Amino acid sequence: MQRYTRDQMAARVARDIPEGAYVNLGIGLPTLVANHLPKDREILLHSENGVLAMGPAPAPGAEDPDLINAGKQPVTLLPGGAYFHHADSFAMMRGGHLDFCVLGAFQVSKSGDLANWHTGAPDAIPAVGGAMDLAIGAKRVYVMMEHLTKQGQSKIVERCTYPLTGIGCVNRIFTDLAVIDVAKDGLRVIESVQGLAFEELQRLTGVALLAKERA
Amino acid sequence: MINKIVSSVTAAVADIRDGAIVMIGGFGTAGMPSELIDALIAQGARDLTVVNNNAGNADTGLAALLATKRVRKIICSFPRQTDSWVFDALYRAGGIELELVPQGNLAERIRAAGAGIGAFYTPTGYGTQLADGKETRKIAGRNYVLEYPIHADYALIKADRADRWGNLVYRKTARNFGPIMASAARCTIVQVRETVDLGGLDPEVIVTPGIFVHRIVRVPASALAEPQAAG
């Protein structure tokens, strides 16, 4: 079995983002997706601090402290890009104008509940940012995460044990082992990494999976 | 003659009293009005409630204000960052109250205050810890949480250019919370890189009309150019 690397996961997510899409990439792992978007597709990246058509990181020395992304890293603006204030930016998110968002996660439940903002640990300082707005606002919510925790437990669960970010909001899960759709009738495996049989994927996953539909 | 331009950051913040609710613009350090914050620190007002997206970066700006222990409460969406050690230590020691608000709800609560809205139903946060105890309502099959506006006594924001009527244009993503905070405060104080004559700003591109602005203070670019680490 060949697990996807972080970059392979990012490339796999990128494949499922079509021409013309408006997309928000969450901070952390999802940010990598930007590096893998097909060059022949025009895809506009939104960053919640107030920019559309965000470009790649600037050359060293060309950073502008007034031009950053949601992760507070320096970025650039593509020709045709725009700046706007926070209420407009979140109207884009909450008003259902973004086609896709890609979010990291601690857990996703079988009904598409998402937990990604807080471990709930007593000494943890909570921070939520725009995660809850993206979770409920984007037309389609992609989650990108390792299939298992470092302790080997499935991050796809019956019910989230971490505090929720949103209820029933996730559409598709991309892990280092598989791509899984949150469907009406359950979690449907779209594909899995080479050499990983459905039975083995099922054994590793916390909840019942539906096999790929035969073409 | 209307002239909102004041002579110094010190004069601009002189009347901020103890217990005031102060919105501070900026997302991280982009758009943070550092010189106004420094003036507020020197002025000495205490028992403040601060509204900002974050809770300070490194040891300057908002972090320096928090370090004075004159902020009783912070309302923000994303306090924990790699360089938020000032806030982290205060919070762990019980030295500051935190009201954590999803970022879009924070923006909309500020916008609502500026627009005279009494409250609004938002889908963000429904069914989560951050909506505990709040009124909810199902509208057209979707669940919403009732959220109230955040009004402020003062807003301290940073823009790029202004005229003496207080019309503002911003620079790149430093715009962030500026326009909505300007509308939500009883007194909006703006530091700008440059002031221009009336008519010097293209009316088609003015982002914040001067009606929302009360005081302008020019902070020359050299003082604004200190590089800030990302966080």
Cα B78 from Cα B100, distance rounded (Å): 8
Longest CA–CA span in chain A (Å) reads 53
Phi/psi at B122 (5° precision)? -125, 140
pLDDT at position B220, please?
A: 83
CB-defined contacts A:B, below 8 A: 144
Structural tokens at position B5: 């331009």
Q: Do B125 and A132 touch (CB under 8 A)?
A: yes
CATH number of B9-120+150-220: 3.40.1080.10
Using a CB–CB cutoff of 8 Å, tell me whether A78 touches chain B.
Answer: no
Phi/psi at A2 (5° precision)? -110, 105
Handedness of CA B127, B133, B134, B135 (dihedral sign): positive
Task: Give per-residue pLDDT as tens, A14-57.
Answer: 999 999 999 999 998 999 999 999 999 999 999 999 999 999 99
DSSP string of B22-89, one letter each residue: EEE--BTTBT--HHHHHHHHHHT--SEEEE-SSS--TTSTHHHHHHTT-EEEEEES----TT-HHHHH
Task: Give per-residue pLDDT as tens, A143-193.
Answer: 999 999 999 999 999 999 999 999 999 999 999 999 999 999 999 999 999
Nearest residue to A109 via CA among A152, A134, A132, A143: A143
Q: What is the mean pLDDT of residues A53-68?
A: 96
Task: Give per-residue pLDDT as tens, B68-114.
Answer: 999 999 999 999 999 999 999 999 999 999 999 999 999 999 999 99
DSSP state of A35: G
Phi/psi at B94 (5° precision)? 70, 20
* Strands B97-100 vs B71-76: parallel, antiparallel or unpaired: parallel
Phi/psi at A161 (5° precision)? -100, -20
CB atoms within 10 A of CB A27: 19
Contacts of B228 (CB under 8 A, 6+ apart): A65, B28, B29, B57, B58, B60
Write out residues 129-158 of B within 8 Å (CB-CB) of A: 129-130, 143
Q: Give this prediction's pTM.
A: 0.95
Q: Which residue type does A135 have?
A: A
Q: Do A72 and B100 touch (CB under 8 A)?
A: no
Nearest residue to B50 via CA among B34, B66, B35: B66
The C-alpha of A26 sits at a distance from chain B's nearest C-alpha, in angstroms, of 13
Q: B231 contacts in A (CB within 8 Å)?
A: 72
Task: Give per-residue pLDDT as tens, A100-124.
Answer: 999 999 999 999 999 999 998 988 9
Angle at which helices B103-115 and A86-94 cross, to 10°: 120
Q: Is the pLDDT of residue B231 over 50?
A: no
Using a CB–CB cutoff of 8 Å, tell me whether A167 touches chain B.
Answer: yes
Cα A125 from Cα A72, distance rounded (Å): 19
Q: So where are chain B's domains?
A: 9-120+150-220
Cα B32 from Cα A63, distance rounded (Å): 17
The C-alpha of A136 sits at a distance from chain B's nearest C-alpha, in angstroms, of 6
What number of H helices and E strands is found in chain B?
7, 11
Phi/psi at A130 (5° precision)? -95, 10
Q: In what order do the strands lie in the sheet with B120-122?
A: B120-122, B142-147, B136-139
- 3-state SS record for B164-213: CCCCEECCHHHCCCHHHHHHHEEEEEEEEEEECCCCCCCCCCCCECHHHC
Q: pLDDT over 90 for what percent of chain A? A: 93
Residue with tokens 């893998």: A36
Longest CA–CA span in chain B (Å) reads 55
Structural tokens at position A154: 């499935």
Cα B216 from Cα B161, distance rounded (Å): 10
For residue B78, what is the nearest residue in chain A, using CA coordinates? Answer: A127
For residue B171, what is the nearest residue in chain A, using CA coordinates? Answer: A66
Using a CB–CB cutoff of 8 Å, tell me whether A30 touches chain B.
Answer: no
DSSP string of A79-115, one letter each residue: EEEEE--HHHHHHHHHTT--SEEEE--SEEETT--EE
Where does the pLDDT of residue A197 fall: very low under 50, low under 70, confident under 90, or very high at 90 and above? very high
CATH number of A6-210: 3.40.1080.10
CB atoms within 10 A of CB B35: 22
B172 contacts B162 by C-beta, under 8 angstroms: no
Nearest residue to B226 via CA among B52, B25, B29, B40: B29
Cα A182 from Cα A188, distance rounded (Å): 6
**DSSP reduced 3-state for A121:** coil
Q: Quote ipTM for the complex.
A: 0.94
Cα B162 from Cα B164, distance rounded (Å): 7
Task: Give per-residue pLDDT as tens, B15-58.
Answer: 999 999 999 999 999 999 999 999 999 999 999 999 999 999 99
Structural tokens at position B112: 């609502």
Burial of A111 (C-beta count, 10 Å sphere; 0-12/13-18/19+): middle
